[in-house]
Amino acid sequence: MSDDHQSCSILSAGEPAATRSAAPMWIIVTTLVLLFLGGIYFDRHSGWFDAKVYAPYASAENLGAYQPQSGPAVFLARGRKNYEAVCGICHGPDGLGKPGQAPALAGSQLVNCKGFDRLIHIPLAGLAGPITVAGQGWNLNMAAMGAALPDDDLAAVLTYIRSSWGNTAGPVAGDDVKKVRAAIGRNPQPLGGAQTMAMPE
Q: Could you list the pLDDT tens digit for every one of the 201 residues in the chain?
A: 555 555 555 555 566 666 776 778 898 899 999 999 998 888 777 766 666 666 666 677 777 766 666 778 888 888 999 999 888 888 988 888 888 888 888 888 888 888 888 888 888 888 887 888 877 788 888 888 888 899 999 999 999 999 989 888 889 999 999 998 998 887 777 777 777 777 777
Residue 5 belongs to some domain of the structure: no
Q: What per-residue confidence (pLDDT) applies to 68?
A: 66
Q: What per-residue confidence (pLDDT) applies to 101?
A: 85
Residue 115 belongs to some domain of the structure: yes
- Kindly report the backbone phi and psi dihedral angles of residue 35, in degrees, each rounded to the nearest multiple of 5, phi listed first: -65, -40
Residue 178: CATH number of its domain: 1.10.760.10
Residue 59 belongs to some domain of the structure: no
Residue 44 belongs to some domain of the structure: no
**C-alpha count within 13 angstroms, C-beta hemisphere, residue 165:** 21
Q: What per-residue confidence (pLDDT) applies to 130?
A: 83
User: Are the beta carbons of 131 and 118 closer than 8 angstroms?
Assistant: no
Q: Which of 153, 151, 143 is nearest to 102 (CA)?
A: 143
Number of domains in the chain: 1
Q: What per-residue confidence (pLDDT) applies to 131?
A: 81
Measured from the Cβ of residue 89, the count of other Cβ atoms closer than 10 Å reads: 14
Q: What per-residue confidence (pLDDT) applies to 73?
A: 83
Residue 55 belongs to some domain of the structure: no
Q: What per-residue confidence (pLDDT) applies to 53?
A: 65
Task: Fill in the amino acid letter for 166.
Answer: G
Residue 113 belongs to some domain of the structure: yes
DSSP-derived secondary structure letter, 98: B
Query: Domain limits at 90?
Result: 72-198
Residue 127 belongs to some domain of the structure: yes
Residue 161 belongs to some domain of the structure: yes
